[in-house]
């Protein structure tokens, strides 16, 4: 695809901005009147026709103005991220986060509610890589029969739980002793550091229940290794009122993204590794049906835990405001961790 001219760039930015603000197709007269003065509507109309052929616009009706495609949104978003941004709601957001005395789970739930409220998007906060997080405490609790509940408390107070069934009988006292031994060795360390030598240390002297204890540790390992993300989300209900989400398939695509861990995990991992703001538009998203949606992700450190914050919404998203809110929340969480 050939380079676009400065004039064409200005037209793309104007059409996208107009559509974000009004929800209406932008015609040549509107562009001349509000954004690019000194050119005739006929000149703008010819340029818009060329840009439509290049894949930046489409016309919903032959007599109407143009609407931006995902390609036009990409040009607009790159322009937004390339320039300095004013951060709205900065003091309110900082005050809410820095004034919070709650544990990390309540804090992340509060943060997602706040981001959803400020942006009208679905907000997510994701804490990744359980096996690399510092363990504070693990409890193995007998729930009846051979069913065991594992409660894993990580540094910062984040709680994960898993329930599994052992193949052999085990009593509550044995599980209590196994929990004590695991904590003696694992507390203050990550699971990836201790798991290889944990079997030998924790099982010493528990020969009568060795098979059940070994299976219990194996189930813990499976959970902590495979359950790599804990996702907090808010705003799925409120987007039902947006015109964009009156189509069932669009709502379903967002819900699928939240439920299907692998596509979301891949995007989270890319953001975590790059340690930079990431914006996926339309087909850049890795989930089927997300062609009309956008996702913005940014790394953060709530209570010194590595995390990723995100917003999911329509392509017609207020990117300047959404990016500003995300960056402000991430900065406030970093400031909170440094206190």
Residue 145: Cβ within 10 Å count? 9
Nearest to residue 43, comparing CAs of 34, 32, 35?
32
pLDDT tens per residue across span 44-95: 999 999 999 999 999 887 767 899 999 999 999 999 998 877 776 788 888 8
Q: What is the DSSP letter of 145?
A: T
Backbone angles phi, psi at 295, to 5 degrees: -135, 130
150 and 97 both lie in a single domain: no
323 and 245 both lie in a single domain: yes
Q: Is residue 317 part of a domain?
A: yes
136 and 124 both lie in a single domain: no
Q: Is residue 61 part of a domain?
A: yes
Beta strands in the chain (DSSP E): 57-58, 67-68, 122-128, 135-144, 147-154, 159-165, 229-234, 278-281, 293-300, 307-314
116 and 234 both lie in a single domain: yes
* Last residue in a domain, options 82, 108, 142: 82
Backbone angles phi, psi at 47, to 5 degrees: -65, -40
Does the pLDDT at position 129 exceed 70?
no
Mean predicted lDDT score pLDDT of the chain: 85
Nearest to residue 202, comparing CAs of 179, 221, 224?
179
Question: Percentage helix, strand, coil, to 5, in the chain?
Answer: 55, 20, 25
Residue 9 has a pLDDT of: 96
31 and 95 both lie in a single domain: no
Half-sphere exposure of 118 (CA within 13 A, CB side): 25
Does the pLDDT at position 32 exceed 80?
yes
Residue 296's SS3 state is strand
Q: Is residue 248 part of a domain?
A: yes
95 and 220 both lie in a single domain: no
Does the pLDDT at position 133 exceed 90?
no
135 and 77 both lie in a single domain: no
Q: Is residue 1 part of a domain?
A: no
* Last residue in a domain, options 18, 48, 82: 82
Distance from C-alpha of 280 to C-alpha of 77, rounded to nearest angstrom: 10
Does the pLDDT at position 1 exceed 60?
no
Residue 20 has a pLDDT of: 93
Read off the pLDDT band of 5 (50, 70, 90): very high
Mean pLDDT calculated for residue range 22-33: 92
Distance from C-alpha of 193 to C-alpha of 172, rounded to nearest angstrom: 27
268 and 122 both lie in a single domain: yes
Distance from C-alpha of 293 to C-alpha of 247, rounded to nearest angstrom: 12
Do the beta carbons of residue 136 and residue 187 sit within 8 Å?
yes
User: Residue 66's domain is classified under what CATH number?
Assistant: 1.10.10.10
Distance from C-alpha of 229 to C-alpha of 262, rounded to nearest angstrom: 10
User: Residue 100's domain is classified under what CATH number?
Assistant: 3.30.450.40
Residue 325 has a pLDDT of: 94
Beta bridge partners of 154: 135
User: Residue 193's domain is classified under what CATH number?
Assistant: 3.30.390.60
Residues whose CB falls within 8 Å of the CB of residue 93, separated by 6 or more in sequence, listed in order: 114, 325, 328, 329, 332
Residue 161: Cβ within 10 Å count? 12
Domain total of the chain: 3
User: Which residue range is the domain that position 221 belongs to?
Assistant: 131-226
Does the pLDDT at position 128 exceed 70?
no
Choice between 285 and 115, residue whose per-residue pLDDT is larger: 115
pLDDT tens per residue across span 313-339: 989 999 999 999 999 999 999 887 666
Q: What is the pTM of this model?
A: 0.74
* Last residue in a domain, options 226, 246, 275: 226
Distance from C-alpha of 308 to C-alpha of 129, rounded to nearest angstrom: 11
Q: Is residue 104 part of a domain?
A: yes
Lowest mean pLDDT among 138-142, 152-156, 161-165, 175-179: 152-156
120 and 23 both lie in a single domain: no
Q: Is residue 26 part of a domain?
A: yes
177 and 140 both lie in a single domain: yes
As to burial, measured by CB atoms within 10 angstroms (0-12 exposed, 13-18 middle, 19+ buried), residue 184 is exposed
Residue 28 has a pLDDT of: 93
How many helices and strands (H and E) does the chain possess? 12, 10
Whole-Å CA distances, 182 to 200, 214, 336: 11, 12, 31
Q: Is residue 291 part of a domain?
A: yes
């Amino acid at each position: 695809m050939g380079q676009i001219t400065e004039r064409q760039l200005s037209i793309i930015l104007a059409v996208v901005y107009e559509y974000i603000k009004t929800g209406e197709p932008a015609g040549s007269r509107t562009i001349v009147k509000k954004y690019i003065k000194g050119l005739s509507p006929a000149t703008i109309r010819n340029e818009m026709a060329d840009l439509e052929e290049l894949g930046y616009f489409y016309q919903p009706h032959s007599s109407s103005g143009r609407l931006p495609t995902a390609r036009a949104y990409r040009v607009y978003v790159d322009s937004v991220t390339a320039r300095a941004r004013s951060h709205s709601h900065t003091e309110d957001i900082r005050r809410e986060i820095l004034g919070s005395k709650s544990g990390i789970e309540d804090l992340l739930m509060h943060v997602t509610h706040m981001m959803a409220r400020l942006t009208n998007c679905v907000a997510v906060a994701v804490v990744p890589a359980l096996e690399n997080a510092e363990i504070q405490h693990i409890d193995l609790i007998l729930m009846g029969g051979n069913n065991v509940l594992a409660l894993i408390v990580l540094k910062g107070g984040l709680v994960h739980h898993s329930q599994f069934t052992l193949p052999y009988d085990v009593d509550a006292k044995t599980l209590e002793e196994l929990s004590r031994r695991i904590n003696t060795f694992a507390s203050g360390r990550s699971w990836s550091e201790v798991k290889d030598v944990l079997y030998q240390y924790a099982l010493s002297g528990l020969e009568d229940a060795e098979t059940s204890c070994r299976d219990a540790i194996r189930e813990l390992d499976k959970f902590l290794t495979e359950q790599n993300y804990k996702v907090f989300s808010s705003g799925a209900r409120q987007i039902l009122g947006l015109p964009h989400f009156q189509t069932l398939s669009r709502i379903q695509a967002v819900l699928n993204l939240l439920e299907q861990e692998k596509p979301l995990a891949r995007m989270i991992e890319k953001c975590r590794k790059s340690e930079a703001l990431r914006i996926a538009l339309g087909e850049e998203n890795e989930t089927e049906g997300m062609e009309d949606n956008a996702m913005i992700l940014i790394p953060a450190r709530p209570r010194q835990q590595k995390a990723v914050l995100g917003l999911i919404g329509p392509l017609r998203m207020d990117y300047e405001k959404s990016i500003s809110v995300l960056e402000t929340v991430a900065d406030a969480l970093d400031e909170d961790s440094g206190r």
